Structure 1
């Protein structure tokens, strides 16, 4: 009975560990899909950094916009307030569209249910995702030309920050604060707009 108790304890812990690591792998896959969806939505939506629209130089109409000509604008939420680096005013509606898709723009981390013909946002692919975890960055990488009617063509990166794995059982053994590896998705900006592509 003693041997059985020891063996069953070890097998029980091993089984629960497999369950938790399987769930961690699911979270990693869900987070990866969320940043891909976020980057795609950001490429066809109004920019979160409102200063991006007029950020490119205009001294030589038709000349290429060289890499590093503006930005980068990194937009994040912190404590319920959004902000962008380089004086890029924060467009909360555009951020909400990336985070929530076509669902209602709410002032919290809620992820409303989708109805017919609505595009999902990042939160629909990764339940439990918070706005504070999402970073949207716009960078000039040599695309577009000066005085382009649609504005500059940035390279857009959507990434996650400060994410930890959620464990059911391994948290009791010190794995509760295991940081999720950095993940991001980068796409080329298109005609940034709020209407459907």
Structure 2
């Protein structure tokens, strides 16, 4: 009887499946997770492109009067040289928005238009649904995007001339910070840590900046 038991192959398939199944599931769920990570990468790239485009045709996040006063005016008509004024880096830290650390020069409504498009202005990370012909903002292209992930920079790169009626022409860069790829299956089942997303960046010329931002 022991000899027959030793030669029996009953249950061999179950044992083999038990050994192979974890690897099979890990590979399958890994493909799903990395596919979703690729989607997040594309969504982030599109979001910064849209944000840069909106920033170039909207009120500047650094208030227009602050931006205009930063450019030199001593020689009317002379070029505004590169680095003629310090770059303004505008972003949220928690619930406070500031440009170069100065909250008084930060225009929350202008930031909201870049982040949310034409939807309602709110003082949080909400991304209201679009209606009618409203233009989308960054959050509509990258679900889950937070305000403090977005950095908008206005810099002098040698464009425009002093005392220009519409103010200086900055180069605008929109980038993302502190954003991680989200891994659901691998993170939950295998403790796979989220990976920091490389900084996304899109740069444009402030072609038609409005000057109606409050001082």
TM-score, normalized by length of structure 1? 0.95
Kindly provide the CA deviation profile for residues 60-105 of structure 1, in whole angstroms up to 9, marking residues without a partner as x.
0000000001120000101110001175710000000000001000
CA distance in 2, matches of 1:104, 1:182: 28
Number of aligned positions between the proteins: 195
* From 24, 27, 52, the counterpart of 1:39: 52
Query: Which residue of structure 1 aligns with residue 176 of structure 2?
Result: 160
* From 146, 161, 174, the counterpart of 1:145: 161
Higher helix share: 2
Structure of greater Rg: 2
- Structure 2 unaligned blocks of 5 or more: 1-13
Query: Which residue of structure 2 aligns with residue 169 of structure 1?
Result: 185
- Structure 1 unaligned blocks of 5 or more: none
Q: Report whether the alignment pairs 1:64 with 2:79.
A: yes
Contact 2:166 2:211 in 1 (8 A): no
TM-score, normalized by length of structure 2? 0.87
Two-structure CA RMSD over aligned residues (Å)? 1.4
Spell out structure 1 runs of 4+ moving beyond 2 A: 172-177
Q: Report whether the alignment pairs 1:121 with 2:134.
A: no
SS in 2 for 1:158: strand
